[in-house]
Amino acid sequence: MRTVAVTRIGSLRDPDESARGRIGIVDMPQPDLGPEDVRIRVAYSAICGSDPHLAEGFFGTDVPIGLGHELSGVIEALGERAHRNGLRVGDRVSGNFLRFCGTCRPCQEGRQQFCENIQDYNRPGMAETITWHESQVYRLPDEVTLRQGCLLEPTSVAVRIADKTRIRVGDRVAICGGGPIGQLTLQVLKMYGATSLTMIEPIAERREMALRHGAQHVIDPVAEDQQVRADAITDGRGYDIVVDASGSPRAVQGLLDIAAKGATVVYGAMYPHDFAMPLNLSDYLYLKELTLTGVFVSPYAFPRALQVLPLLDLRELTEAVFDLDDATEAFAVHVSGRHPKVLLRCNDIDDLGSAS
Ligand SMILES: [Zn+2]
Ligand SMILES: [Zn+2]
């Protein structure tokens, strides 16, 4: 089965071609269909900002590493017991790339994100088919196309980020990083009653995209003084909620200074293993009583992500589409930052949803 994979570990941005990480198409076996499993013919699989980190060996260095955890498709086979959620052959679906086992202690304590068997069904979705446990699979609403449906997983991350902000209607909110997670978080927090909603982003196109989707202010952290702008926007009080969706070591520390007293700062991205941020405990935790938190994966967020998916404007996140065979080029385009999101068309499936 043709599957997109990391075939050589290294940064996809390395100017030295001989050291650069490599993405290619390899042949991987199709897993057996267990009694509770669902086989999905994949329609679209989106490239995630975390995929280049996998190429750098963040989660291991044994190649090939199959990629793809943001996908949509159509069910083509069901195990004999995989009917408990009413799934049928032909259903248009998306899902959670992680299967939470339900049996380990963290699962029993309501903390599925720490499931000790989380990798068992984590399979590559940039492939012709994917075989998941039925608990991972969600039927898409009729009004969501397959092309939009592959964004269920990143939407679940935005929902989880919103959960962790513990936002109240009227809170002042700043989001740092206008990539897909930042843009989706912006739309979700807007729905939630965010005010003074500000996108901090150095790339002009991404700032403009944020303005088209509900941002009231944008800050260019390179050309402008972020602190001065934030003070002007918030009357010198700072933001009640600050979300980092940039993962940029250069950006993260300044976010503590634009946070209001008592604010929550959610570091909602992936960060380099060896990066440590200095933290003045007296200033930020004693005097300002900040709450600092992060997001690993998004348990309990998928059913709600499915509810908000039809309400989001996903057009600009679904415009760039490449065929599976052109995956190498698709990753090069992703790395170039020319499009906010790049999708792979893994099979040519008639999309019966509404026009995208
Ligand atoms: Zn992702
Ligand atoms: Zn578990």
Average pLDDT over residues 286-309: 96
Q: What pLDDT, on a 0 to 100 scale, did the predictor assign at position 354? A: 44
Provide the mean pLDDT of the chain: 95
Do residues 80 and 131 share a domain?
yes
Coil, strand or helix: which one is 163? helix
Do residues 163 and 132 share a domain?
no
Average pLDDT over residues 178-206: 97
Do residues 177 and 71 share a domain?
no
Average pLDDT over residues 182-198: 97
Q: What pLDDT, on a 0 to 100 scale, did the predictor assign at position 352? A: 61
Domain range holding 28?
Answer: 2-151+314-345
We report the CATH number of the domain holding residue 210 as: 3.40.50.720
Instruction: pLDDT band for 307, please (50, 70, 90 cuts).
Output: very high
Q: Does residue 305 sit within a domain?
A: no
Ramachandran angles phi, psi of 254, nearest 5°: -60, -20
Q: Does residue 116 sit within a domain?
A: yes
Q: Does residue 308 sit within a domain?
A: no
Q: What pLDDT, on a 0 to 100 scale, did the predictor assign at position 355? A: 42
pTM: 0.95
Distance 316 CA to ligand 2 centre (A): 36
What's the pLDDT tens digit per position in 45-96?
Answer: 999 999 999 999 888 889 999 999 999 999 999 999 999 999 999 999 999 9
Coil, strand or helix: which one is 24? strand
Do residues 231 and 327 share a domain?
no
Do residues 111 and 44 share a domain?
yes
Do 76 and 41 contact (CB within 8 A), yes or no?
Answer: yes
Average pLDDT over residues 99-120: 94
Do residues 144 and 199 share a domain?
no
Higher pLDDT, 105 or 61: 105
Distance 103 CA to ligand 2 centre (A): 5
Distance 102 CA to ligand 2 centre (A): 5
Do residues 232 and 120 share a domain?
no
We report the CATH number of the domain holding residue 332 as: 3.90.180.10
Do residues 18 and 135 share a domain?
yes
Which ligand does the CA of 247 lie closest to?
1
Q: Taking Cα atoms as reference points, which of 116, 44, 30 lies closest to residue 74?
A: 44
What CA–CA distance (Å, rounded) separates 122 from 97? 6
Q: Does residue 253 sit within a domain?
A: yes
Do residues 230 and 136 share a domain?
no
Question: Is the pLDDT confidence value at 136 over 90?
Answer: yes
Domain count along the chain: 2
Q: Does residue 73 sit within a domain?
A: yes
Distance 350 CA to ligand 1 centre (A): 25
Report CA Rg, the chain: 20
